[in-house]
Chains A and B, each alone.
Chain A
Amino acid sequence: EVQLVESGGGLVQPGGSLRLSCAASGFTFSSYAMTWVRQAPGMGLDWVSTITYSLGTYYADSVEGRFTISRDNSKNTLYLQMDSLRAEDTAVYYCVRGGGSSSFLSWGQGTLLTVSS
């Protein structure tokens, strides 16, 4: 069974930093692109970033230069380093298997990031 478990969310002040993690299991992690998708409270889905199996990275304009996606295939873990956080980054962040050359195949339960003073 595919499992994606996010961690690292919480309350951060504007301008602060945080790193999200996603522990993956139940599939060959290194063979899949992985993606972060977010959802602000009461709003729709918003693609954030994708890292391919070959380590190519893609970012939404809204986070380019502030967020960094990475992966550790030896630990089956996906990361999202978030710097210079803004109030508008407040959202549930979902870890997703797939992206780019495939649909979003499997989703974690999400971790909530709140950016507020």
Chain B
Amino acid sequence: EIVLTQSPATLSLSPGERATLSCRASQSVGYYLHWYQQKRGQAPRLLIYDASNRATGLPARFSGSGSGTDFTLTISSLEPEDFAVYYCQQRSNWPLTFGGGTKVEIK
């Protein structure tokens, strides 16, 4: 099973600041790494697929990068609606797995 480790667990930032979230895989997943956002009380939604492709309608302040075992989700300038929990997920191997999540909270 591929283990995804997200860091940090919590990121405390102010609106307008840059957020950098990390996801590290226990073995290579190629580019098959996706990012999701979950707001309190809501279902997750897809943000980035295959490491760097923005989902339809996603603002350009969100970007993804990386390959192999190291991936990054960057939010260039945090908006109030971006404070949420973010999960990475791999589809390289069964079982499909998620990271433990990074909570982006208001400082």
CA A108 to CA B87, docked complex, whole Å: 17
Question: Would A100 and B91 be within 8 Å (CB), given that A44-B101, A45-B98, A47-B96 are in contact?
Answer: yes
Contact of B94 among A45, A58, A108, A109 (CB under 8 A): A58
Question: Would A103 and B91 be within 8 Å (CB), given that A44-B100, A46-B98, A47-B98 are in contact?
Answer: yes
Residues facing B in A90-105 (CB within 8 A) are 94, 99-105
Is the CB–CB distance between B95 and A47 below 8 Å?
yes
Judged by a CB distance under 8 angstroms, whether A61 is at the interface is yes
Interface size class of B (residues with CB under 8 A): 20 to 34
A-B contact pairs, 24 of them (CB 8 A): A44-B87, A44-B98, A44-B99, A45-B44, A47-B89, A47-B95, A47-B96, A58-B95, A60-B95, A94-B44, A100-B91, A100-B94, A100-B96, A101-B91, A102-B49, A103-B34, A103-B50, A104-B36, A104-B44, A104-B46, A104-B89, A107-B44, A108-B43, A109-B43
Taking Cβ atoms with an 8 Å cutoff, the residues of B that contact A are 34, 36, 38, 43-46, 49-50, 87, 89, 91, 94-101
Closest 5 CB pairs of A and B: A103-B49, A103-B34, A107-B43, A47-B96, A45-B98
